[in-house]
Amino acid sequence: MRRHIISTVVFSLSLAACGSGSSSLPPTQSTPTQPPQASCDLSALEQSLRQQAAALKTDTDFTLLLERFDGRSFSYSRGGSSAVTSYESASTSKWVSAVIMLRLVDSGVLKLSDTAASRLSDWPFSASHPLSQMTLQQLLSFTSGLTEEPLCLNLPGIDFAQCVRQGLSNNSANGRLPGTVFDYNGLHLQVAGLMAIRAAGASDWQVLFRQFTQQTGLFSTARYDLPSSGNPRLAGGMHWTAQEYLDFLRALQQGKLLSAALQQQMLANQRGTATVANSPAVSGFGADWPYGLGHWLECSNGQCASAQRHSCPGAYGAYPLIDYQHQYLAMLAREGQLGSFVEGKAVVDALTPAIQAWAGCKP
């Protein structure tokens, strides 16, 4: 019961210079695209999309930003929401945190094969302990063997590294072997983040985030501040605007943040054959989505090697995605009640036919 309570609380709170790569394709042998419509009225399609968005019955105001890969864009906001409204990220920060760490892999500071035990001088387990085998790759794909989140992930006054040690202690006797179980919880990214901090010789996560924003020009007003700047939840502790997140998706899709090889690894199924112990995609959406590095692969078969649609929904209903098949980016920004992630996806699902018609139109 304690584990259930912790998971429920933390899931609710957590529901996260340019690189040398130039590839913008997902890891597939070919990328099917939708043929342009023989005849289409772009203005009519956009008007219809606005009308449908305005007519939706949903629990809170939202902003929807769309952008085709060729740069054509569409925006709709309702109520008090806007493209520059600051929203709590919940789990949408997972994708951002993963990319920040993956850029350290590209630069040679880290390797995906690095173990947490080799990077953390205060690692609490012996070399023979099963959890001593966990790698950065497994941490970023939630298959590291960690299943118990510490409550300190939500305490603003605690030291980041101290909280990581507490979380590891909570998992010391869970009997999990890294790579065998997929468990969606925020501790994986806290451990990975501490590895990144130590490997880079940084004082804290904020240093790495500032370096990322300075090198890329992204997230200029965003911040990792929940529950505090000193103990940020890397899996769900940002504030951002819809426009900032869309800019991130564009840079990612265009291959400007990661090398081509690492981008393909990020987009590929990293869950593999691991048993699913805890997946909000299953419990919330009834979808057995596999997981890449820091985000979901939206495909019907949980064992699929790759996908055409990649997303990172958050607990307040925000929903960023890249659709390679229909060649568009989408960012639904909103902040409903904790656990209202299903509502956010329902908005996108209801509008998807209209969005795909808009994306496929080449007047």
Answer yes or no: is pLDDT of 361 > 80.
yes
Backbone region of residue 238 per phi and psi (left: phi > 0; alpha: psi in -120 to 50; beta: other values): beta
Q: Is residue 14 scored above 70 in pLDDT?
A: no
Query: Checking DSSP bridges between strand 181-183 and strand 275-278, what pairing results, if any?
Result: parallel
Over its C-alpha atoms, the chain yields an Rg (Å, rounded) of 20
pLDDT of residue 34: 52
User: Do 108 and 200 touch, CB atoms closer than 8 A?
Assistant: no
Contacts of 119 (CB under 8 A, 6+ apart): 110, 195, 198, 199
Contacts of 144 (CB under 8 A, 6+ apart): 116, 131, 134, 135, 138, 178, 188, 191
Per-residue confidence (pLDDT) for residue 26, from 0 to 100: 65
Sign of the Cα pseudo-torsion (18, 24, 28, 30, in order):
negative
φ and ψ at residue 324, rounded to 5 degrees: -75, -30
Q: pLDDT (tens digit, 9 = 90+) per residue, 115-162?
A: 999 999 999 999 999 999 999 999 999 999 999 999 999 999 999 999
Q: Indicate the pLDDT class of residue 9, thresholds 50, 70 and 90.
A: very low
Count of CB atoms situated within 10 Å of the CB of 67 = 21
pLDDT higher than threshold 50 for residue 48 = yes
Could you report the per-residue pLDDT of 162-194, keeping only the tens digit for each? 999 999 999 999 999 999 999 999 999 999 999
